[in-house]
């Protein structure tokens, strides 16, 4: 008797996750085990949940040998696990494995991929074609940058260098929310702060109407968009998207004795409260979240860096720089990143990288994720087209 269909064979096409068939994406999203050929891009595996077991098929002893794959697929299916078997191109390479499973009575589904030759007249013309780019943002926030890089032709590999968690104590933020009517300004310095603030508002049984009569400032357009999604229109977004720019924009709008609520990370820089307090403004700092260094993921990335198979690494905050270096420890980051283009979202992040001995080649004129992707594409646009190495 055949087992129920728990194995899905899927072709990954030319390696761009955006070109995966919808059924392949759906199967990956529900996968408990993913078995992938060595040529399958890590970005394709990122479509699967973090909880999914990832197995590489290799011939070097560090993964599962190809001849053992059919038995592995059968064992997982017999245990009731949803398995996705990924191969490159249109999927022709899994014919023998599928035939073996069929002879064993194991039911499976097949999702062909786009044949690489069909789309290669335009893929190679994209400025980041053939480039591997590391994205160090937390996985839940990496999607936008990954999508932009992939649209430019890159293979984007997510290596979260930090994780976002609650502050050690909610009391400062909760007390500030209870006394919102005492503040003239409420200032947000990140999307994470907006999200946490909205959650604590809801926890207190309140909503955006509690900010009526308050003036709201956002450090940049992404933070402003996060406010708008919650029904809050910011009164101020500075022209320069960093703390110094926010200080300059607020100087003409606050008076001595005004009360300002600053919603931010627990470990943020002191520029904003220090400068405002120097003007006689009463600043209340309410930690809404904290960033902690990630501990996993370097095992797959360090070999790629050592074999010079990473072309660029992106940093979107000083904490991603520090977290990334902590992940690489005890390896020498300057040696591992030799020849790798380092891209920082803004000058503060670039300064942090420089303090740790890294040379930053790309800083966008506007400190946003889209501008970062655009600047990186521009950096490589005049370089010879690349071919992914290994």
Domain-terminating residue out of 289, 307, 333? 289
pLDDT tens for each residue of 240-277:
888 888 899 998 899 999 999 999 999 888 888 999 99
- Which segments of the chain are extended strands (E)? 7-11, 33-36, 53-56, 83-87, 108-111, 132-135, 155-158, 162-165, 185-188, 215-218, 259-265, 282-293, 312-315, 341-344, 360-362
In a domain, 166, yes or no: no
Whether residue 326 lies inside any domain: the answer is yes
- Distance between CA atoms of residues 141 and 164, nearest Å: 10
Q: Please state, in angstroms and as integers, the Cα–Cα distance from residue 19 to each residue in 22, 24, 49, 79, 123, following that order.
A: 9, 10, 19, 31, 11
In this structure, are 175 and 270 located in the same domain? yes
Minimal CA–CA distance to 36: which of 72, 4, 3? 72
Does 57 lie in the same domain as 85?
yes
Q: What is the pLDDT of residue 1?
A: 42
pLDDT of residue 176: 96
Domain assignment of residue 2, yes or no? no
Looking at the fold, whether 259 and 216 belong to one and the same domain comes out as yes
pLDDT along the chain (390 residues), means of 10: 72 80 90 90 84 86 86 93 90 88 91 71 78 92 88 89 93 96 95 95 94 94 92 92 88 93 90 91 95 87 91 96 93 92 95 95 93 95 62
Domain CATH code at residue 271 = 3.40.50.10090
Residues 366, 314 share a domain: yes
Do the domain assignments include residue 239? yes
Quick check: is 318 in a domain? yes
Tally of domains within the chain:
3
Examine the domain organization and report whether 300 and 285 are in the same domain: no
- Domain co-membership, 137 together with 241: no
Q: What is the pLDDT of residue 49?
A: 87
Domain with 34 in it: what CATH number?
3.40.1010.10
> How far are the Cα atoms of 307, 308, 327, 358 from residue 335, in angstroms, in the given order?
11, 11, 15, 10
Residues in the chain: 390
Which of 289, 320, 348 is at the close of a domain?
A: 289
The per-residue pLDDT for 15 is 73
Q: Domain boundary residue among 269, 289, 309?
A: 289
Query: Which residues constitute the domain of residue 207?
Result: 171-289
Are 87 and 22 part of one and the same domain? yes
Q: Same domain for 157 and 299? A: yes
pLDDT at 385 (0 to 100): 57
- Report the Cα–Cα distance between both ends of the chain, in Å, rounded: 41
User: Which 8-state DSSP code applies to residue 17?
Assistant: G
């Amino acid at each position: 008797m055949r087992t129920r269909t728990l194995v899905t064979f899927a072709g990954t096409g030319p390696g761009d996750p955006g070109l995966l068939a919808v059924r392949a994406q759906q199967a990956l999203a529900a996968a408990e085990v993913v078995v992938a050929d060595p040529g399958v891009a890590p970005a394709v595996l990122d479509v699967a949940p973090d909880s999914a077991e990832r197995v590489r098929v290799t011939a070097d002893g560090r993964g599962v040998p190809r001849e053992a794959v059919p038995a592995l697929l059968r064992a997982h299916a017999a245990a009731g696990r949803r398995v996705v078997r990924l191969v490159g191109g249109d999927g022709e390479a899994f014919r023998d494995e599928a035939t073996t499973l069929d002879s064993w009575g194991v039911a499976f589904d097949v999702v062909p991929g786009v044949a690489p030759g069909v789309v290669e007249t335009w893929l190679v013309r994209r400025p980041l074609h053939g480039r591997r780019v590391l994205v160090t943002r937390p996985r839940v926030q990496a999607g936008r940058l990954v999508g932009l890089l992939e649209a430019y032709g890159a293979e984007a590999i997510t290596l979260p260098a930090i994780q976002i968690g609650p502050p050690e104590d909610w009391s400062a933020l909760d007390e500030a929310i209870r006394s919102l009517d005492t503040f003239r300004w409420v200032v947000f310095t990140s999307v994470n702060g907006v999200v946490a603030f909205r959650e604590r508002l809801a926890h207190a049984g309140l909503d955006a109407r509690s900010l009526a009569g308050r003036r709201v400032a956002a450090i940049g357009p992404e933070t402003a968009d996060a406010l708008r999604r919650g029904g809050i229109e910011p009164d101020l977004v500075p022209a320069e998207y960093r703390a110094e720019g926010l200080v300059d924009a607020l100087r003409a709008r606050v008076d001595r004795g005004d009360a300002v609520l600053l919603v931010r990370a627990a470990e943020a820089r002191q520029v904003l409260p220090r400068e405002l307090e120097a003007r006689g403004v009463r600043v209340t700092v309410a930690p809404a979240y904290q960033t902690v260094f990630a501990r996993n993921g370097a095992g797959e990335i360090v070999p790629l860096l050592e074999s010079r198979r990473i072309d660029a690494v992106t940093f979107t905050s000083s904490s991603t720089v520090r977290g990334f270096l902590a992940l690489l420890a005890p390896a020498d980051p300057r040696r591992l990143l030799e020849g790798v283009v380092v891209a920082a979202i803004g000058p503060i992040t670039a300064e942090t990288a420089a303090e740790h001995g890294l040379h930053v080649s790309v800083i966008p004129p506007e400190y946003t994720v889209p501008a970062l992707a655009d600047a990186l594409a521009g950096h490589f646009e005049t370089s010879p087209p690349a071919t992914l190495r290994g």
